[in-house]
Amino acid sequence: MSTFFRGPVCGTDNCRSRLWRIIDGRRTCQYGHVMDGDVEFNDDEDNINSMGVVTRRLNLTTNATGSFRASSQSQTLGQSNPAEFTKTYGPEGDRLFLKCFQHVLRLQCGWLVQHEHFPPVFPHVVKLLWARLLPAVHNDDNHAGTGVPTATRTRPPGRYRLSLLSSVCLLHMAGTHLRLPVFWFDYLRWMCNLQLPYFKAGLHLPAVWRRQLPNYYLQLLEGGKVPAEGQFYHKLARTCRAVQPPSFFSRAVALEPLLLKLLLALRLPPQPLFFHVLDLVQRIRQNTSAEPFPGDELPERDLLHLQPELGAVACLIVTLRFRLLQGEDKFLTRYCAGWLLANAGDLVTQLSSTTSTSTASLAATDQYLEWLETRFLPASTRGGGGGGDESTEPGSQPRSIDQRIADRKLHALFPLERVGVSSAAPAPAPAPAPASTSDVRDAYRAICQDAAAANVAGDAEELASRVETQLVIWTCPLLAITEAQMRRCIEHAYRCAGPA
């Protein structure tokens, strides 16, 4: 039923409407014109019992004791300082992002010094490189703010071109300067094992910074996907060009430790291959000019062979193929035949851990339980064997009363006693276990046993091709590149392996 009623002609702006209705006490025509001086007041007494009751719903939850607790976000924000929950944009947001990035970089350096025994001077070298990168980042941001598109894409203005991969590039450059036997595949392994602060690095930031940082910068600190298709080497090239290291900065990669690590990782015999690969690398360096690695404006996918690590892997594959084609080293030929029969399809996972629980030793069990506790349990629950309230780790956030009550109830159901630890003196921290070489030694023994029974009467060309194909398949995930990129590096090594 219509709410309009008939009345006099409106007349406003020659409006001929006679249909009116009451809106907020004012008579209004069907076209929205309000009659001047006509206001209606409701003098009738309202029946409160017949009117509906307006209520507001509160989302209530219960804590560990069973009492109610308000969890409405509006109530929580109303009781705290509203400035703490305000996102910071513009130049202040950019400066806050740089502070957060520098905080993550400091955590990464601290972890490498503490757990991987990097020299104490390593953080100072990283700080020097970071100081040289900041002006380039600022200039790049000013150039992007003008809206000038790059060769491949247009970046949103006002946002820095930094990512967590840039921090790994700074670490790699500092390690190269100090001639440390640490390379890209080492950093990649630490990142994927969640040891080096990389993935979800924003969780390591102070809570106030994390709440004030813009969302697009928080996304950069999440780490994203694992670098692939040579992304690290492309980022390393752009970072080197932006930093422009001084003349005294060492750019030579420690080639000998790199080759030894590759040979041990691929379970190849170092004795007949090590010096031959070194000779090939030196010959390729003499036959090629010192061409700088390009940036965005050049086809950098065609120049990955200029990276020393990829060039060393390509030289290793080419050297092994040449030695197999010559057929002079019978031990190497028989070893490669057994190497193909060893069924070591996944060297990274198969030789680092075992999936059988029947053969697990006591040390392996303790190592697995320690890894499970440190990686999956929150820091507030570690070391709480007796269920006490003071059993938190130093530096961790204190537990709330709900967590302590739930912990006490859990230990009441499953009582656990800490054996051999007195209440007066805390237990000393266990010393880090030395790296065991039993897995590597067992793998070489298994390959040698297969090599003793292997039949090497076949074609040497076929054996060399199979070994080369298998090496390409195994080294690509190790270096986070594609097989096509690895093939191009090998082709470049073939072209440059001619007479000096």
Cβ-proximal residues to 274 (8 Å cutoff; 6+ apart), any chain: 259, 260, 263
Give the pLDDT of residue 124: 94
Give the pLDDT of residue 52: 58
Give the pLDDT of residue 53: 56
Q: State pLDDT tens for residues 386-416.
A: 444 444 444 455 667 777 787 787 777 777 6
Q: Considering the entire predicted model, what is its pTM? A: 0.64
Return the closest-CA partner of residue 172 out of 260, 258, 289: 258
Give the pLDDT of residue 388: 46
Domain ranges of the chain: 5-41, 90-252, 274-353+437-496
| Helix (H/G/I), strand (E/B), else coil: 48 | helix
Structure tokens belonging to residue 458: 């076949």
CA pair distance 125, 282, nearest whole angstrom: 28
The number of CA neighbours under 13 Å toward the Cβ of 226 is 15
Residues of the chain with pLDDT under 50: 70-75, 77-78, 142-158, 289-301, 344-356, 384-395, 419-435, 500
